[in-house]
Chains A and B, each alone.
Chain A
């Protein structure tokens, strides 16, 4: 902040979320809320088979039905692709619910009626609903290159695990599984497309309108210049939206019929055709010296990507990051396999693989500390990666930006307050009393557990921002990213306002339309505060200079020294001033565009945290009650405390579903999803919401904008291992397979006896 500022800075305050008013009034417009004149409604025919070739489709009766305008089938669509392994429609279906045909009709009832009249001739193929069957050499290939993506695992390593395990006094190992976890955002996917002669406009829930524009262009063989993608308010996606055929199907129907076409998925379709968190099977092994030093870590993960690849390669990489980097260790190896199955597709879901990898790692750490006869917290204090980073040699050339998911050693962190997180959390939960908890007679057992994490800190790809001083004397920030409910618009406005030296209420945001905004990174990888923040700051800095330069002549000064912005305009040290309105009236609106690729060539930018929980386990019912939950995060400087706390509390509660409840069950005999509804796929309700105390470590990252690092995804990483470790402390039962349902707790307790 400039010392000359005449008002309080916005960064660090809980400035009210900019888009909340429309949401409470019911006027915020989501994709499904939009209706256009002459709009048709589309409906998808989905495969009843988990794996089949479509030999033929009879659509004659459907097309003859009143009010039916078009039917898309694999045999009448162009050859473009939505993703490398996803044609617009395919004559092979790969899971129960895969798209077969799409109807456009005057209303949804006629579209549904037409769907019933389509006759499909299937050649049913052998199928697999789990990774182990898929990897069996006798299994039927789901894609031509086989069921193991790239024919082998992703391998990342540092040092030599052989040497590491040779040095070990103890080796501790175990295997862990995590379930198919569905984001099940409350807004089902939808798309509205409108073709006007040569130009296509698509409204859709989007985490990256510019990226979506390019997908549509490539799939439909159109120039990106002839496509506009509009991102209305989005009923969240947690990273999972969109990656599906939805918008491409609506667009093609609109192009063919010349009418606007809306396709809304229903709840069951959202479960089936949306994207889920990859289920995993992980074998993990740790070598230890008697004094508790870790000599080696080795993990092998198999991830179920379902019918299509989606963002699987990124997810499999991120599942390894904790394994490779959370503990100081010279010898580590991670092997991640991605395997096709005939089940709904997995993709990006908040924290991409990190919760799965950390569940295995942090459960194993507690086991390791037990073998060492060491307190689990002490084990972490001894071994957590410190500010200096990992041992070893830097391999990234000196002139290149350091990856936010590094493998190499020899590179320090820009900031690392993991130790502070451990201390603050231990104090808040009262870790000291952990060894002295006394259980009363009866079935209730109390326990305390913890775990820690590491995650990407925010640097993303190139980010652009444009900011202008407008005719009305106010400012507009033009950005191509989407605020999907996490609050990025609000925090970026706060940063831009402080850079200019004006109140945030003077800055409007214009986002969500590819024609009107410069490109920004997707709302993914917890990057927006960092990347979009840097771009907005740079644009604001340039605008400030431009405004001051413009005002020089107007005020009659020769030198910009001592000029600064106030809420009313530009002022000089000597008291001369000119209002923003006068500046634009004389000099016209002023606009600056900044393009930045934030990151560091010298430091790793990562976020950290530690979670602690005290729980009560009813040993008669298997029910686990959270008594106290403490989430401590090093996300650098917190730009907006209330929004940040909301992200953490929401993320922790969302992951209580992963920990206790949620698992999309696929019948192995039919490939049918058994619980594709909110009634049967249990998600946490307000009744399950535990008290969650959020603590932010005192941390200012020297590279982050205003000292900030990532926060959107990190809250999701530690909840499951924290609870599993508390369960072990309370009962002596360690459950390696999520979710921790009452059934599984009771069964594990029975096996213990």
Chain B
């Protein structure tokens, strides 16, 4: 109880480092606290709030982003690990008002209810969408197994990802 609910960070020493990194194609050079997580940096410093804080413990996937193309829980990535990295968030998917096929598929298949998990699911599905493979339903589910949806819109989420893959194949 105490360990979870009370502070683990009392001293506010000079723990700040200037760090360079790229988010959605744009380079940033920011003075950030080494103990900040990528999620805090995105939300508090860059005001990119698409990635959500559902647990801050790497258990729910609501904060999923891409780090050099790999799916990560941004709440589990400390500032030191983003130096010179290429980060992509849900805000970086659509281009010039055009929705990414995954975003379009989530709209057309009603892939979100309350929507709090939706950016995380879309980012978790992104590498699957980019890959050359033609995944089975089971593979789609496996790639999304780290993301929770408490509305349990899982059926529509599976439909959405499958639909996005279908659009891609037909293009």
Query: Which residues of the partner chain B approach A27 to less than 8 Å between Cβ atoms?
Result: 50, 91
Q: Which of A16-24, A160-168, A325-333, A542-550 contacts B (4 or more CB under 8 A)?
A: A16-24
Q: B112–A23 contact, CB under 8 A?
A: yes
Within 686-708 of A, Cβ neighbours of B (below 8 Å) are at: 686-687, 689, 692
B129 within 8 A of A: no
Within 38-70 of B, Cβ neighbours of A (below 8 Å) are at: 43-44, 47-57, 59-60, 62
Closest to A185 in B: B150
A672 within 8 A of B: yes
A19-43 contact mask (Cβ, 8 Å, vs B): 1 or 0:
1111111111110110100000000
Query: Which residues of the partner chain B approach A159 to less than 8 Å between Cβ atoms?
Result: none
Within 143-164 of B, Cβ neighbours of A (below 8 Å) are at: 144-145, 147-158
A80 within 8 A of B: no
Docked complex Cα distance between A22 and B7 (Å): 35
Query: Which residues of the partner chain B approach A450 to less than 8 Å between Cβ atoms?
Result: none
Q: A646–B153 contact, CB under 8 A?
A: yes
Q: B158–A689 contact, CB under 8 A?
A: yes
B118 within 8 A of A: yes
Docked complex Cα distance between A285 and B89 (Å): 57
A259-296 contact mask (Cβ, 8 Å, vs B): 1 or 0:
00000101111000000000000000000000000000
Query: Which residues of the partner chain B approach A45 to less than 8 Å between Cβ atoms?
Result: 6
B29 to chain A, nearest CB (A): 22
Partner of A267, one of B47, B54, B107, B149: B54
Residue of A115, A677, A686 contacting most chain B CB atoms (<10 Å): A686
Q: A678–B50 contact, CB under 8 A?
A: no
A679 within 8 A of B: yes
A691 to chain B, nearest CB (A): 8
A7 within 8 A of B: no
B45 to chain A, nearest CB (A): 11
B126 within 8 A of A: no
Query: Which residues of the partner chain A approach B93 to less than 8 Å between Cβ atoms?
Result: 25
B23 to chain A, nearest CB (A): 13
Partner of A116, one of B7, B99, B108, B151: B7
A474 to chain B, nearest CB (A): 20
Docked complex Cα distance between A35 and B46 (Å): 12
Residue of B7, B52, B91, B93 contacting most chain A CB atoms (<10 Å): B7
Partner of B150, one of A19, A48, A234, A683: A683
Query: Which residues of the partner chain A approach B144 to less than 8 Å between Cβ atoms?
Result: 686
Q: A679–B50 contact, CB under 8 A?
A: no
A729 within 8 A of B: no
Within 93-122 of B, Cβ neighbours of A (below 8 Å) are at: 93-94, 99, 102-103, 106-108, 110-119, 122
Q: A28–B148 contact, CB under 8 A?
A: no
The B contact surface, by secondary structure, is loop
Q: A646–B113 contact, CB under 8 A?
A: yes
A645-658 contact mask (Cβ, 8 Å, vs B): 1 or 0:
01001111110100
Partner of A25, one of B56, B62, B94, B149: B94
Query: Which residues of the partner chain A approach B150 to less than 8 Å between Cβ atoms?
Result: 183-186, 236, 238, 654, 683
Q: B49–A26 contact, CB under 8 A?
A: yes
Closest to B141 in A: A686
B142 to chain A, nearest CB (A): 7
Partner of A48, one of B2, B44, B55, B103: B2
Closest to B59 in A: A678
Within 645-682 of A, Cβ neighbours of B (below 8 Å) are at: 646, 649-654, 656, 672, 676-679
Q: A649–B152 contact, CB under 8 A?
A: yes
Residue of A45, A646, A653, A679 contacting most chain B CB atoms (<10 Å): A646
Docked complex Cα distance between A188 and B59 (Å): 14
Q: A25–B50 contact, CB under 8 A?
A: yes
B164 to chain A, nearest CB (A): 11
In the complex where A21-B107, A233-B115, A678-B57 touch, is A29 in contact with B158 (Cβ < 8 A)? no
Q: Which of A460-468, A481-489, A613-621 contacts B (4 or more CB under 8 A)?
A: A481-489
Query: Which residues of the partner chain A approach B152 to less than 8 Å between Cβ atoms?
Result: 649-654, 656, 684, 689
A525 to chain B, nearest CB (A): 18
Q: A689–B154 contact, CB under 8 A?
A: yes
In the complex where A25-B90, A679-B57, A684-B152 touch, is A186 in contact with B50 (Cβ < 8 A)? no
List 20 A–B pairs whose Cβ atoms lie within 8 Å, in order of A's numbering: A16-B110, A17-B107, A23-B112, A23-B115, A29-B49, A45-B6, A112-B7, A112-B10, A113-B9, A183-B150, A186-B150, A235-B116, A268-B4, A485-B151, A646-B113, A646-B153, A654-B151, A684-B154, A686-B145, A686-B157
- 4 cross-chain pairs, A with B, having the tightest CB-CB distances, nearest first: A26-B50, A485-B114, A23-B115, A235-B116
18 more A-B residue pairs beyond the given contacts A26-B89, A116-B10, A652-B152, with a C-beta to C-beta distance below 8 A:
A23-B112, A24-B115, A24-B119, A112-B9, A112-B10, A115-B6, A185-B116, A186-B54, A186-B114, A236-B113, A266-B56, A484-B114, A654-B152, A679-B57, A684-B154, A685-B148, A686-B158, A687-B141
